[in-house]
């Protein structure tokens, strides 16, 4: 895929006929940043992962002439005004989040589909861990799941009757409706934010949130061993808002 082409537009279709249009914002040898033309949201992907989305039909390549002119005329600028505290979030933000969530589902489904088609004799840590590393290398995924996370995805997928939607945790769909997080969750999220903000000028928010979820799972494992109640991770939207502060 020629990401240098200024005419290139990528389209994400939703049920009910809704569409989101994305244009290449920046790219290098490893990553491509897409910007939602209408709403201004930006999403960063590994080139191999993005090309996989295009080849699978999750994203459809087209050209500017096929995009309604009004989207370019009324497009949100890169620096948008912050939403006032207490105001209800607008629909465009929800649409951008929905596109990101669906792409996350496809990433998880890639692993699940691969393991279901594999000839692994057992889903043990010794067998799954090197297998996950090999699959992650295929799509250049820098934050592959742990073997426990993958087995959890498999369980949810099988129990749902092989529905892709089961691969997305409930907190992704519902969002975090509470303004206050438990101290342990808030501390862990802040730690992830600081580490990822310092490690790269262009932060991959999806990668940071996956890192946060993985750490939450390890934290909950320790809490279970200590007889403490499990904590609910905050949403992707919360991670996004923290980076914007």
pLDDT digits (tens, 9 = 90+) for 198-216: 776 677 888 888 899 999 9
Distance of CA 169 to the CA centre of its chain: 12
Closest CA to 100 of 211, 216, 213, 209: 209
What are residue 35's DSSP bridge partners? 23, 42
Closest CA to 19 of 105, 95, 101: 95
The whole-number pLDDT of residue 43 equals: 76
Residue ranges covered by each domain of the chain? 8-71, 96-169, 183-244
- What's the CA gap between 11 and 99, in Å, rounded? 10
The whole-number pLDDT of residue 87 equals: 38
Angle at 93 between CA 182 and CA 50, to 5 degrees: 100
Angle between helices 183-199 and 236-244 (to 10 degrees): 60
- Contact predicate 170/181, CB 8 Å: no
The whole-number pLDDT of residue 139 equals: 78
- What's the CA gap between 41 and 93, in Å, rounded? 8
- What's the CA gap between 185 and 219, in Å, rounded? 9
Q: Which residues of the chain have pLDDT under 70?
A: 15-16, 69-99, 121-122, 161, 169-179, 200-201, 244-245
- pTM across the whole model: 0.38
CB count within 10 Å of CB 233 equals 25
The whole-number pLDDT of residue 93 equals: 44
Q: What is the pLDDT of residues 136-169, one digit of tens each?
A: 888 777 778 888 888 888 888 777 767 778 887 6
- What single DSSP character describes residue 39? T
């Amino acid at each position: 895929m020629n990401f240098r082409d200024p005419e290139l537009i990528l389209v994400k279709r939703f049920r009910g006929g809704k569409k989101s249009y994305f244009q290449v914002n920046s790219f290098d040898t490893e990553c491509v940043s897409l910007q939602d033309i209408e709403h201004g949201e930006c999403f960063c992907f590994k080139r191999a992962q993005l090309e996989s989305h295009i080849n699978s039909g999750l994203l459809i390549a087209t050209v500017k002439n096929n995009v309604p002119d009004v989207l370019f005329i009324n497009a949100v600028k890169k620096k948008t005004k912050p939403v006032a505290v207490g105001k209800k979030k607008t629909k465009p933000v929800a649409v951008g989040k929905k596109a990101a969530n669906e792409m996350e589902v496809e990433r998880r489904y890639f692993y699940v589909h691969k393991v279901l088609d594999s000839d692994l004799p057992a889903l043990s840590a010794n067998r799954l861990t090197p297998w996950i590393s090999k699959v992650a290398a295929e799509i250049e995924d820098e934050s592959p799941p742990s073997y426990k996370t993958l087995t959890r995805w498999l369980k949810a997928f099988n129990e749902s009757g092989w529905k892709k939607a089961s691969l997305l945790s409930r907190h992704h769909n519902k969002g975090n409706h509470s303004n206050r997080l438990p101290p342990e969750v808030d501390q862990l999220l802040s730690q992830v934010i600081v580490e990822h903000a310092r490690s790269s000028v262009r932060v991959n928010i999806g990668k940071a949130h996956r890192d946060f979820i993985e750490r939450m799972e390890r934290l909950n494992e320790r809490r279970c061993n200590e007889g403490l109640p499990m904590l609910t991770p905050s949403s992707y939207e919360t991670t996004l808002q923290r980076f914007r502060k």
